[in-house]
Amino acid sequence: MDLKIAGKKALMAGGSAGMGRATAERLAEAGVELYISARREERLLNAAKEVTEKYGNTVTPIVADSSTEEGRATLFSACPDPDILAITIKPPDPNGDFLTVTPEMWRESIETALLGPIEIMRHYIPSMKEKGWGRILNIATFSAKNPMIWRLMSGPARSALVNYTASVSREIAQFGVNINNILPGMFATEGSEENAVHYAKAFGLEMDNDVIAEHFNAHNKIPAGFAAIADDMAPMAALLCSPLARYIVGQNIVIDGGQHHSLF
Ligand SMILES: NC(=O)c1ccc[n+]([C@@H]2O[C@H](COP(=O)([O-])OP(=O)(O)OC[C@H]3O[C@@H](n4cnc5c(N)ncnc54)[C@H](OP(=O)(O)O)[C@@H]3O)[C@@H](O)[C@H]2O)c1
């Protein structure tokens, strides 16, 4: 399918690994001029090089932390006017007992998982409106809709994010600028491997990969029977970033192998 985005400028904020990287690759495959950002430089530079080698695109890496004002300023000056903006941010690690979650932990969660994406969108929306076209995609989490006691540092802030985008998307759709969100379930990514250690601690498990995997699978009961790979969401991400999605406004697409049990 031709996504009709060849030549457009796309920023994947959080694009060096996992679902951000897979989305960046699908956008590159569709012919965009690509900007990818991340905090860790070495992995980011490798990702930019590999995507260029694979698809032949110009890829500009930007070392920047999307959760800080300083990082966002770096992002904005390195990529002033993207047509397509996709954002993902790693929230704080899984929490243990909910009674141990402190106000400082809440503040960190809100700074990263809520204010980071909001401030990036707020910066770029005016230029997209002026151009009369833009696509914004947040890669958030299905725990925005499917609360999990060990993901308090991720789900509640993202519930607020999808609430915000539900309102703002309806305000700006008239200018050809659409915001949508993908809410992923369990994906085997670099990020989820890093989380496994914290998950094990939160549940008092042995640091043994088999023990963690067995507990995790039993806990999550995924109807599809497996944890996805990042490219299981990337085609949908690229579609939402294209003109083909012009009538998809303010939606939350859950991609979770059927884990979240609801009609909508
Ligand atoms: N994997 C899952 O099972 C799962 C489940 C539900 C929800 N999610 C959500 O889906 C999103 C993507 O997850 P993933 O597993 O693909 O993560 P990942 O493998 O860790 O990849 C995240 C990407 O974003 C970058 N990044 C993270 N925080 C950033 C920040 N503050 N500023 C700039 N770049 C940042 C990372 O690079 P650096 O680390 O170098 O910055 C990396 O490139 C996350 O929001 C996660 O909470 C994941």
Q: What is the pLDDT of residue 212?
A: 74
pLDDT tens profile 207-257: 777 777 777 777 778 898 888 999 999 999 999 999 999 999 999 999 999
Answer whether 172's CB lies under 8 Å from 133's CB.
no
Q: What is the pLDDT of residue 43?
A: 98
What is the Cα–Cα distance from 205 to 216, expressed in whole angstroms? 11
Mean pLDDT of the chain: 94
Q: What is the pLDDT of residue 207?
A: 75
Answer whether 98's CB lies under 8 Å from 152's CB.
yes
Q: What is the pLDDT of residue 216?
A: 72
Look up the CATH number of domain 9-187+229-255: 3.40.50.720
Q: Alpha carbon of 218 to those of 137, 142, 157, 211: distances in Å?
A: 31, 18, 26, 11
Pocket of ligand 1 (CB under 6 A): 14-20, 37-40, 43, 65-67, 88-91, 112, 139, 141, 154, 184, 186-187, 189-192, 230
Answer whether 24's CB lies under 8 Å from 12's CB.
yes
Separation of 152 CA from ligand 1 center, angstroms?
16
Q: Beta-strand (E) ranges in 14-56?
A: 33-38
What average pLDDT does this structure show over 6-33? 98
Pocket perturbation via mutation, ligand 1, pick of 19, 72, 139, 162 by most ligand atoms within 8 A of CB: 19
Ligand 1 atom with the shortest distance to the CA of 154: 47
- HSE-CB at 116 with a 13 A cutoff on CA atoms is 31
Separation of 18 CA from ligand 1 center, angstroms?
6
What is the Cα–Cα distance from 129 to 139, expressed in whole angstroms? 22
- For residue 13, the tally of other CB atoms under 10 A from its CB is 28
Q: What is the pLDDT of residue 169?
A: 98
DSSP SS3 for 179: strand
- Residue ID of nearest Cα to ligand 1 atom 15: 191
Separation of 130 CA from ligand 1 center, angstroms?
30
Q: Which residues are within 8 A (CB) of 74 and not within 5 positions of it... i.e. 6 or more apart?
A: 62, 63, 64
Structure tokens at 259: 């884990």
Q: What is the pLDDT of residue 69?
A: 98
pLDDT tens profile 87-122: 999 999 988 899 999 999 999 999 999 999 999 999
Range from 9-23, 28-42, 175-189, 212-226 carrying the lowest mean pLDDT: 212-226
Q: What is the pLDDT of residue 209?
A: 76
Q: What is the pLDDT of residue 240?
A: 98
Q: Beta-strand (E) ranges in the chain?
A: 9-13, 33-38, 59-63, 84-87, 134-139, 177-184, 252-255
- HSE-CB at 105 with a 13 A cutoff on CA atoms is 16
Q: What is the pLDDT of residue 91?
A: 96
pLDDT tens profile 134-152: 999 999 999 999 998 989 9
- Sign of the C-alpha dihedral, residues 53, 55, 56, 60? negative
pTM of the model as a whole:
0.96
Separation of 261 CA from ligand 1 center, angstroms?
24
Structure confidence at residue 174 as a pLDDT band (50, 70, 90): very high
